[in-house]
Amino acid sequence: MLSDIKTQELARKVRVHAVKMVNKGGSSHIGSVLSIVDILAALYGRVMQYRSNEPKWVNRDRFILSKGHAGAGVYAVLAECGFFNIAELGKHYQDGSIFSGHVSHKGVPGVELSTGSLGHGLPVASGMALAAKIDKKSHKIFVVMSDGELDEGSNWEAFMFASHHELSNLTAIIDRNKLQSMKTTEETLSLEPLRDKLIAFGWNVIEVDGHNHNELFSALDSDTKKPKVIIANTIKGKGVSFMENEISWHYRTPKGELFDQAMKDLGEKT
């Protein structure tokens, strides 16, 4: 279990890896990755129980990235936490690589579910949570979703299901960066009042600063009798000055001077 300072450093390293991976691969979605890095660091650095040398350890907590386009962040945090060699990250988005832009489980230790099409993670996580209840297992299931992803109706089917079946071992974390593919969530298909909606669906709703590790720890660790959803208020592109709150970084690849600037912002030498 890492302290706040150590999970901050884990997050910084993951951000550096992710920017390098996207730079080398010429891929996109870096803004979406940077948005959730602190959540990943809190989960893998402190909250979740797992064995990196035994990825299928039966009592491990399960993690699902429903917003699969932020897969680079998951690969990076898994590598940093010892699931596989950090050098493997250099294969991201390369020809013939298994490290796809959207997260894939095949051949990648620690990835529970391949995603990429939105609205898939919460139903599967609910099934896993139900299985744990049936089998009287005490592990937990965590799923990170994007806010834009909440446009998908399948999520609301699962929100209903999880509360109906009292899946208290299930935690959904909504990456509330308020930006989706083309405009803000509120301009596209308004989500607000999101907290009220989720309460109405029978979930225990906690709102935090999604970049404040102590707030994340306390929300993630809190006991609940209902399924728990954490609305993590985040900044898309967090940590790289020119990417923050800029929709274009859903698509662009940091190259040249911009890459150097990103590394500088993240306290990394180039």
Residues at the site binding another protein, with contacts judged by CB under 8 A = 105, 112-117, 119-120, 122-132, 134-135, 153-154, 157-158, 160-161
**Token pair recorded at residue 133:** 């209840």
Query: CA angle, corner 42, sides to 165 and 38, nearest 5?
Result: 110
Q: How far is the CB of 66 from another protein (least distance, A)?
A: 10
Phi-psi region of 142 (alpha: psi -120 to 50; beta: other; left: phi over 0): beta
How many residues are recorded in the chain?
Answer: 270
Helix (H), strand (E) at residue 256: helix 256-265
In the bound state with another protein, the residue whose beta carbon lies nearer, of 7 and 171, is 171
- Please tell me the distance from the alpha carbon of residue 189 to that of residue 120, in angstroms, as a whole number: 19
First to last CA, the chain: 30
Q: How far is the CB of 202 from another protein (least distance, A)?
A: 14
Side by side, which strands form the sheet with 204-209?
A: 62-65, 141-146, 170-176, 228-233, 204-209
Helix (H), strand (E) at residue 97: none
In the bound state with another protein, the residue whose beta carbon lies nearer, of 20 and 139, is 139
In the bound state with another protein, the residue whose beta carbon lies nearer, of 158 and 266, is 158
Q: How far is the CB of 114 from another protein (least distance, A)?
A: 6
In the bound state with another protein, the residue whose beta carbon lies nearer, of 203 and 259, is 203
Q: How far is the CB of 132 from another protein (least distance, A)?
A: 7
In the bound state with another protein, the residue whose beta carbon lies nearer, of 148 and 254, is 148
Q: How far is the CB of 37 from another protein (least distance, A)?
A: 25
